[in-house]
Amino acid sequence: MTTAAARRHERRVSPVFLAILAVMAVTGWAVWTDFAASPGLAVFLFVTSAWVVSLCLHEYAHARTALHGGDITVGAKGYLTLNPLAYTHAVLSVVLPVLFVIMGGIGLPGGAVFIEQGRIKGRWKHSLISAAGPLANVLFAIVCTAPFWLDALDGVPPAFRYALAFLAFLQVTAALLNFLPVPGLDGYGVVEPWLSYKVKRQIEPYAPYGFFIVIALLFVPQINNAFFDAIDALMRGLGVPEASRYCGSQLFRVWEGAPPESCRV
């Protein structure tokens, strides 16, 4: 295989990603047309598949930015194919975030692609590579909420509107969590290049536990309330009513039975 052919192969979109995209499209159509016998099941499949698509785009954004920053190895690792199975930690990148959505209804930051930091020259490049992932979530949230902030909801079926609102909520929570300057999260990767060597050495022993500490802190009522107050403020800023997000989450939880009367479609 020639070098050019190898590069094309490294950047070819994975059939796995295309299959997930197809599930998202079909179930999105089912939600829009009310084709499914169970609207909740259609919403669940649509939101879950769209969430996995966003996780793939998150990791792709890291890898693509790293490629332009100087790490030419990301292609050979399969990171440019959007294949979730190619990630360094597929469980952390996909399985765990999906489980958290199902169990807790929040967008958990995914795992990571392995970037060879030594190939990246310049602090700004390092920061941008770290920021690229959560910025992909921000962009996804903006797209999901476009009908709301453009006041273009006429003709949008309620179930689809609710699903978009809940999906946007997941993107906003993922972006906000990921931008926290905590070791193990992308936010720390943004600020780390600007820290002194001494500070980085002091933080290093705690790096493997940063993510778990954040999750544990979310169980503290005061912190939990402050976090979700910030999320609610951002969602309102994007024009999404709390009722739409709530109904989306209720339809998503298909295993809990029929949603409240106010959310039935």
176, 177, 203: which is closest to 192 by C-alpha? 203
Note if 59 is an active site residue: yes
Q: How far apart are CA 93 and CA 185, in angstroms?
A: 12
Q: How far apart are CA 223 and CA 216, in angstroms?
A: 10
Q: At what angle do helices 15-33 and 39-69 cross, to 10 degrees?
A: 140
Radius of gyration of the chain from Cα atoms?
A: 19
CB neighbourhood size of 255 (10 A) = 9
Q: How far is CA 224 from CA 12, 89, 152, in A?
A: 41, 27, 32
Name the catalytic one among 10, 59, 116, 242.
59
- Residues taking part in catalysis: 59
